[in-house]
Structure 1
Amino acid sequence: MTVDGTTSGTASAMTDATASTAAPPGGAGRGGNRRWWALAAICLSVLVLGFDGTILNVALPEMAVQLHASTGQLQWIADAYLVVFAAAMLPAGLLGDRFGRRRLLIGGLVLFGVASMVGTLADSSATLIAVRAVMGLGGSLIMPLGIAILPSLFSPAERPRAVAIMTAGMAIGMPLGPMLGGLLLNHFWWGSIFLINVPLIVIGIAACLWLVPESRDPSVPRVDPVSAVIGVLGLAALTFGIIQGPADGWGSAKVVAALVAAVLLLGGLVRRERTQPNPMVDFTLLADQAYRWSSVASVLVSFVLAGGLFVLPQYLQSALGYDALGTGIRLMPLMAGLLVAARAAERLVHRLSARWVIAAGLLVMAAAMLLGATTSGGDGYGRTAIWLSLLGLGTGFTMVPAMGAAMAALPEDRAGVGSGLLQTLRQSGSAIGVALLGSLLAGAYTARLTTGRLPAAAAHTARGSVSAAQAIARAANDPALALSARAAFVHGMDLVLLACGIGAVLSAALIAWRMPGRAGGEAESRA
């Protein structure tokens, strides 16, 4: 799941001086109301990204059964999208500046739509992982170029409202995802969660062609393909090493090689970008304390939330026995808490400061996770609803002020590249959260599961995921296996939530100690 307070673009996308804009059909320039219809077209384009992450979560248990996917493969189905999305976002924004933002936005929609159609026909975990990677590439074009088009449509005074509307357009998709996914899965096969993207994308492409003007800035620096490739390979190697660790052993040659390669590649990327005259990833932005610690807060909350949302749908379906629609509905307390907190966060930041609101939000998240970590095998949904609501409140009070504080710390001419770096770091945090916490879950579940006298092949499948174990237990009429799988999964989930809770407490202390005080959205101190 992705919770965005702002989106990514490039530096030139946020300034009028560098953007050369063709008038849209029907005169949808700044002087006409049609620009708001153009904004609606852009919102429709990002809507699919809003519910794609949350709709996938409710489908993971069904995928585990139908595709015979292990927990590690489920992690890759989620992470293939996140890794490519994070690594490809910055070069995608630069390509749009150079060759046409609307053109590449539409290209991203086409890529996302084609991958979604292929995903409906996937018959193996490997195929679906590849599809998700292509969807991540399409998403990396849609997200930054959607916001990069806004300066060609709106004056500086109107731009904050336009960005807020676009962000809301994506946020609307998040609570719709679990419910829509559950509804589809109750009546159709799991591939329908990808098929639903197609009509929305077709409408979005038509609306962009008709309403959105083309704009570009040929003066931007060329995309550095070496840096782009290093970034993708480094994140992929890190994710692979973390996911394969529990299965192959942390000392295995494959895992050690992947982690060493990740360190060398990502370290090389940082060094290369720091020496480039026009870097694709401008790490000097992190010298500003307000930006740096707001970015750290965004990464930390993304890490914690990604791990929690990876285990929750599996718990609701495989441990508590709800169907996909029931699971989607029972995730709504999280979304409700998030929306309530997001509305109140801005007022609290003006009254107090971003630092204290973010730190308090992290503590609320910690309380939610620690309460969730006390779940036992006999507990029902009531306890889950309580800590889900708290988790939503904490997320809203953390993510929205953190994103806003990071962007407020940047000068206008660096807002685009700053938001791009922030989004790349945040998506990387989500990918690592799924990989690391999913691996903790897999290791704990496998260690606790008792397979009894199952044949070797069935026992191996049962150890792959709790959904597979429950399916085998039903087929073999083996209640002991079902009870063992539920207890083992709840144990693993508790460890994941405990790790998230401890991490959130430490994060709150770090933000309260290191982040500069901010009042009314203005930085009181800078590095």
Structure 2
Amino acid sequence: MSTEIREPRGRRLVLLAVCCAAAAMPLTFTGPAVALPAISRSLGADPVALNWVTNAFMLTFGSALMAAGALADSYGRKRIFLGGLTAFLLFSVGLAFARDILWFDILRALQGIGAAAAFSGGMASLAQEFEESERLRAFSLVGASFGVGLAFGPIASGLMVEAFGWPAIFVPVVVFAALALALGAIFLRETRDPDAGGLDWKGAASFTVALTSLTFGILQAPENGWGDPLVVAMFVVSALFFLAFWRIERSVARPMLDLTLFRYPRFVGVQLLAAAPAYGFVVLLILLPVRFIGVEGMSAADGGRMMIAMSAPLLVVPIAAGLLTRWLAPAAICGAGLLLSAAGLFWLSRFPVGSDPVNLLAPLLLIGLGISLPWGLMDGLAVSVVPKERAGMATGIFSTTRVAGEGVALAIVTAVLSALTASNLDASVGADAAAMAQRLATGNLAEASLLSPDISQTILLKAYGDAFSGLLLILTGITAMTAIVVFLFVGRGGEAVAPREADAGPPALEPVPVGEAGMTRSNL
């Protein structure tokens, strides 16, 4: 690993490169969410294929992050960052020219792999450039950059869909990725972990198969039924491969995921924090545009404007949260933010489908404000619990928990929304309830109506609206409980955890001073 001291200008340009890459990532799932009705009309697809428009990207992104982090530590963080960005850029261009839903979903999956490499390589590179409190503030800026994509992605995508058609949503993705690639090629320096042992291929393969099977089973269940042989088989395959992954990671000398780290409450708390935004925020980035545009009939631009209320706080609040760590513990900031988000979710559940859009702005803003407080602190906390040399592994584990959690959460909440809607419709439409609910969940109100022409759209909207409110109450409970766990776990102790070495027994805990930001790092 290079020990050269970089001048501030060089570090700032590295930070800018990673921030540009971070701004491109949210555009890849907020854009297709806004454009989903248009994509459905253009390419034609059943509800399961439409669900994969988002889930294909999130699945490969989440399942490849740990492998990408290990590759970054072993073969060079700059190399992985630039290679991932190149792939991400090329597949983003390809998506704009896709004319078949199958190829679109395949390209989305490949785009996710490129994004995983770019994200892991970039964040691991950033961890080498900054120390202690500076690192926390740098990660806060990355969080704010992510917020730029989330804040302006929906409205920009909506305007582009209306003006130029859905392929135009990938233009800003390509622009940000190209800028990050140019800056990274010039200003990033190559670093790696001298003790890295290469990629744990068996672990990477077993984890990917397990996560893919789980997601596929959850997405297929609403249409086929939870007792369908294919769905049950997918869950069994997933359980077997997760078990195989656990056994592999326990036996290899240099695991992709060091399972012994989960003995320590603070490390566990950081992973739970990583998954927290999935249920309280990220799923709404997909479900709300579908509701606003596909079900309530807003234009793509108007639906995008509604999302600004929820995502705009990510522009500034993550930076403010980084500054607040001078006086408050990160656990307190993160837990308080999740409680605010839970309050916003509960408030939003009080407004049925068809409510005046103006009434939704305040709860959406509260959700965004709450989730923005931990957003910029999470990555810095992740790399604080392992030695600096294993930053790629720490980023990979944390990002995998976050993104894989988002993908699984999206599949689960979509299935729950569909099931609740079908339950509300069952007395009215009988056997067609599941199929109609599936189409409502993907924003296709017109096709749902065609399945049972005798049922008025008023009944369909009420069934969907009641289901959406019930789903929000479930998400409120999950977010509130996660906040309590984060208070208890992330706030425990301040030690960095050293990963185990082969045959060295349990990992040692080395107390180190608490830095200005209330975080720690290894003395290595």
Corresponding residue for residue 485 of structure 1:
460
Gap runs ≥5 in structure 1: 1-17, 22-28
Q: Which residue of 2 aligns with 1:281?
A: 257
> Among the aligned pairs, what percent are the same residue?
27
Matching residue within 347, 350, 356 for 1:374: 350
**Match status 1:48 vs 2:24:** yes
Name the counterpart of 1:465.
440
Partners of 2:34 and 2:289 within 8 A in 1: yes
Task: Quickly say closer, same or farther: Cα 1:326–1:238, change in 2 above 3 A.
Answer: same
Letter in 2 for 1:184: M
Superposed, 1:10-409 pairs within 5 Å as 18-19=1-2, 30-31=6-7, 33-150=9-126, 159-216=135-192, 219-339=195-315, 341-346=317-322, 349-409=325-385
**Following the alignment from structure 1 to structure 2, what is the Cα–Cα distance between the partners of residues 380 and 135?**
37
Q: Deviations over 1:460-503 (max 9, x none)?
A: 67852366643458999x79643333223222211221110121
1:418 aligns with 2:394: yes
Sort the Cα spacing of 1:61 and 1:445 in 2 relative to 1 into closer, same or farther, 3 A: farther
**Paired residue for 1:501?**
476
**Alpha-carbon distance in structure 1 between the residues aligned to 2:264 and 2:349:** 36
Question: Which whole-Å deviations, capped at 9, do the CAs of 1:65-114 have from their partners, x for residues lacking one?
Answer: 33333443333221111111122122223333444433332221221122
8 Å Cα contact 1:37/1:211 also seen in 2: yes
Q: Which range is displaced more, 293-302 or 156-165? A: 156-165
Task: Mark the CA change 1:196 to 1:269 in structure 2 (over 3 Å): closer, same or farther.
Answer: same
Greater mean alpha carbon deviation, residues 218-227 or residues 156-165: 156-165
**In 2, Cα distance between the equivalents of 1:289 and 1:248?**
40
Task: Report the CA distance shift for 1:182/1:523 in structure 2 as closer, same or farther (over 3 A).
Answer: closer
Quote the Cα distance in structure 1 between the aligned partners of 2:104 and 2:436: 19
Q: Name the SS for the 1:243 alignment partner.
A: helix
Residue 430 of structure 1 aligns to a residue whose secondary structure is: helix
Q: TM-score, normalised by structure 1?
A: 0.83
Which stretch shows the higher mean deviation, 252-261 or 208-217? Answer: 208-217
**Alignment partners' CA distance in 2, 1:486 and 1:156:** 51
Asked whether the equivalents of residues 58 and 328 of structure 1 are also in contact (C-alpha less than 8 Å), the reply is yes
Amino acid at match of 1:505: A
Per the TM alignment, residue 417 of structure 1 is displaced from its structure 2 partner at its CA by 2.0
Instruction: Report SS of the residue matched to 1:440.
Output: helix
Matching residue within 404, 410, 415 for 1:439: 415
SS at the partner of 2:355? coil
CA-atom RMSD in angstroms: 3.5
| CA shift in 2, pair 1:153/1:375, >3 Å | closer
Q: Which secondary structure state, in structure 2, belongs to the residue aligned with residue 277 of structure 1?
A: coil
Q: Deviations over 1:436-463 (max 9, x none)?
A: 001011223344459999xx99x96785
TM-score between both structures, scaled by the size of structure 2 = 0.84
8 Å CA contact 1:408–1:521 kept in 2: the answer is no
CA distance in 1, matches of 2:519, 2:12: 32
C-alpha offsets along residues 43-66 of structure 1, whole Å, 9 cap, x if unaligned? Answer: 333331142222222122322333
- Superposed CA deviations along residues 320-347 of structure 1, whole A, max 9, x for unmatched, are 3221111111111112344454344345
| Closer/same/farther in 2, CA of residues 523 and 198 from structure 1, 3 Å limit | closer
Structure 1 pair 474–186 and aligned structure 2 pair: CA distance change class (3 A): farther
